[in-house]
Structure 1
Amino acid sequence: MVIERDDRAVGASVRNFGHGCFTAQSGRALGYAMAARPVWVRLAKEAGFWLRESGTVVVARADDERAVLEEFRESRGDQVELLDRADVEARMPIGADVVGGAWLPQDIRVDPREAARMIAAWLLTQGVRFQWATTALGIEAGLVRTSRGEVSADHVIVAVGHDVDRYFPGLAEEAGVVRCALQMLRVEGPHNRVIDPAVLSGFSLLRYSGFEACPSLQAVRERLGVDHPDLVAAGLNLMFTQRPDGDLTIGDTHTYGRTLDPFDYEALDDAILGQIASLLGYARLTVRERWRGVYASSPDREFLVETPEPGVRVVSVTSGIGMTTALGLAQDVVEGMLA
């Protein structure tokens, strides 16, 4: 049984880029990501939702960014294919400052606005029960108290994302879990051009653990810190994915706190729009939608997996890579509980 407080999934699962960013992870996250990849592909076929095994293009707009990608290629082998400017231009429209890039063929894309809904609908046919619009009020060994009554269970998994502190505040405080807010936008696609891969930028190199071992990354960090101190301070991960209808999902900035201010900053949206337009070589982009994503974040761990009571697991991806890793993490958690 799945207990869900809303009528449908409206949280981080539908507010993201729909990007399975598998290759750019490292360590435990890379293991979970690679375990999640075949599950995503299988679920797309069984549940019938749109999925593209289109990879990711990481665009280099400076020589130090290209150097990072060359070092990443050396460490990952055939998981990374280096691109020159013409190779990048064959895959997407680009601005004048693009000097090359890399293609990560293992990555995937889905439409997050349909994937969660269609997975839930498919699970119904597999015997899973859902209690929608139902709030979990209290959780203890063998029992979940909800707004619609009590539910008994031998195993309880608390997967509430950034709301761990609503149920187990001491655990959240010990792990340093806070909320991270993202400003994201949907813009009109450029001139009916199909952009099949997800697209990352030099700012993205600062956000994914897979690039941290590259010696040239420090030069990228220092240069971007001098050229764009406000964007680095805002935690910009300049990237986009194209939706099936041709529009682009673009973003994103990162703001942290236990309690987030409800106000978004237009200057950050303007910066995202300007950077994406420059990356694509366009004068301006037309905004269709704006929204805020929220996920759990911890300063010292990518995953929170704790057992506050017998038979109860509290699980959260605390690093912003939930779509990429969760289906691998889930297998690990469930198998561990049943064992």
Structure 2
Amino acid sequence: MTSYLPRNQSLDSADLVVVGAGIVGLAHAVDAVRRGLSVAVIERDERATGASVRNFGHGCFTAQDGDALRYAMAARTGWLRLAKESGFWLRDSGTVVVARAEDEHAVLEEFHAVRDDQVVLLDAAEVAGRMPVGPGVVGGAWLPMDVRVDPREAPHAIAGWLAARGVRFHWATTVHTVEPGLVSTSRGQVRAGRVVMAVGHDVDRHFPELAEQAGLRRCALHMLRVRDPHGQKIAPAVLTGFSLLRYDGFGACPTLPALRTRLKSEHPDLLDAGLNLMFTQRPDGDLTIGDTHAYATTLEPFNADELDRHVLVEAGRLLGVESLTVRERWRGVYASAPEPFLIATPMPGVRVVSVTSGVGMTTALGLAPEVLDDLLR
């Protein structure tokens, strides 16, 4: 016989209740623990399964701009510290941006002029010395501040580190309602001094009017794990000319519009698919490659095989091989909106926090302290 807890039965209480155990929610829990607060985390699944584990594991700090750059540089320190404390895999090996045309290299030269010591220009031979590449490389850049983690390991390791420090996790628990000082769940009520709603693209499930006002949609990514065709260690993350169109840090480069026009003319199907051609190497040697971008409030449930083919063909050209062996395919989903961050106060003592630009792993550990500074003030 199954017994059920009444929804009004007390489940827990804490100074800070975090809803969502993805990297944004975990970042707020980490900062709260460092402040000496009691923390409870409520997560609808048995473990984090969303965007926080389906990404490249790329701390893409240098290519950000504005608030995202400030958060990212603070997050870099947070990642290095947490990796030492939690013991998860991290490589402080930077990013290589491969230029396969002169206009791509021109953008990197302009970026170097703005960021100086954060960008090291490379010639074609220096690029080839850092990673295997196909023909046509004219040069590139190394962004030494960037890091890599294993996204399938790091969030779970951080949750374990938090649990060891007294954070109570309520897994497989659905939040029904939120009000000042109280979170009602499928397992009972949680008393809360403050609440952070870190539910990613599901803001509209809890606060639909807020999501509509912010223009929040879902972004679906096609990503793949493939066998490394060269069987060699690739220390940095790898970006390409397509990536220059997708990160705000490159937006101020004067020659970027001409690059966009050229890529649109030569590869209209790839730009229509929102291709950000890049990859990272996993600890086991396989490569995570991707990715394409499609936007909707409600995503179609069907995955178009054409998008996977685009990623595989272009990644093969980048690596100088005719074909790649696929081990896994998946769809990532993250929140997207015109502004890169959604931080809102729907009621006293409650903050809704969503990274709406696909850089949650990159920025969350720097964003959370500023949110809590305001929330706890």
TM-score bin (small chain): over 0.9
Partner of 2:330 in structure 1?
A: 291
Choose from 326, 348, 353 the match for 1:315: 353
Partner of 2:99 in structure 1?
A: 60
Partner of 1:264 in structure 2?
A: 303
Partner of 2:234 in structure 1?
A: 195
- Could you report, residue by residue, the CA deviation over 1:181-229 in whole angstroms, capped at 9, with x for unpaired residues? 0000000012321110000000000000000000111111001101110
**Deviation of 1:337 (Å):** 1.0
Count of residue pairs the alignment pairs up: 338
Query: Could you say which structure has the larger radius of gyration?
Result: 2
Choose from 90, 94, 107 the match for 2:146: 107
Taking the aligned partners of 2:375 and 2:213, their CA distance within structure 1 comes to 23
Contact 2:223 2:330 in 1 (8 A): yes
Taking the aligned partners of 1:90 and 1:47, their CA distance within structure 2 comes to 32
- Could you report, residue by residue, the CA deviation over 1:80-135 in whole angstroms, capped at 9, with x for unpaired residues? 00000000000001111111100000000000000001110111111111000000
Choose from 219, 239, 243 the match for 2:278: 239
Taking the aligned partners of 2:230 and 2:98, their CA distance within structure 1 comes to 20
AA of the residue aligned to 1:291? W
AA of the residue aligned to 1:167? H
Choose from 153, 160, 181 the match for 2:192: 153
AA of the residue aligned to 1:182? L
Which residues of structure 1 form unaligned runs of 5+?
none
CA RMSD of aligned residues (A): 0.6
Taking the aligned partners of 2:116 and 2:230, their CA distance within structure 1 comes to 35
Taking the aligned partners of 2:364 and 2:303, their CA distance within structure 1 comes to 28
Partner of 1:337 in structure 2?
A: 375
Taking the aligned partners of 1:11 and 1:331, their CA distance within structure 2 comes to 23
AA of the residue aligned to 1:147? S
Taking the aligned partners of 2:217 and 2:322, their CA distance within structure 1 comes to 37
TM-score normalized by the length of structure 2: 0.89
1:211 and 2:237 correspond? no
1:275 and 2:314 correspond? yes
Contact 2:132 2:230 in 1 (8 A): no
Instruction: Please give the secondary structure, in 1, of the residue aligned with 2:331.
Output: strand
Partner of 1:306 in structure 2?
A: 344
Instruction: Please give the secondary structure, in 2, of the residue aligned with 1:106.
Output: coil
Residue identity over aligned pairs, in percent, reads 69
Taking the aligned partners of 1:279 and 1:45, their CA distance within structure 2 comes to 34
- Which 4+ runs in 1 deviate beyond 2 A? none
**Deviation of 1:16 (Å):** 0.3
Instruction: Please give the secondary structure, in 2, of the residue aligned with 1:236.
Output: coil
AA of the residue aligned to 1:79? Q
Partner of 1:74 in structure 2?
A: 113
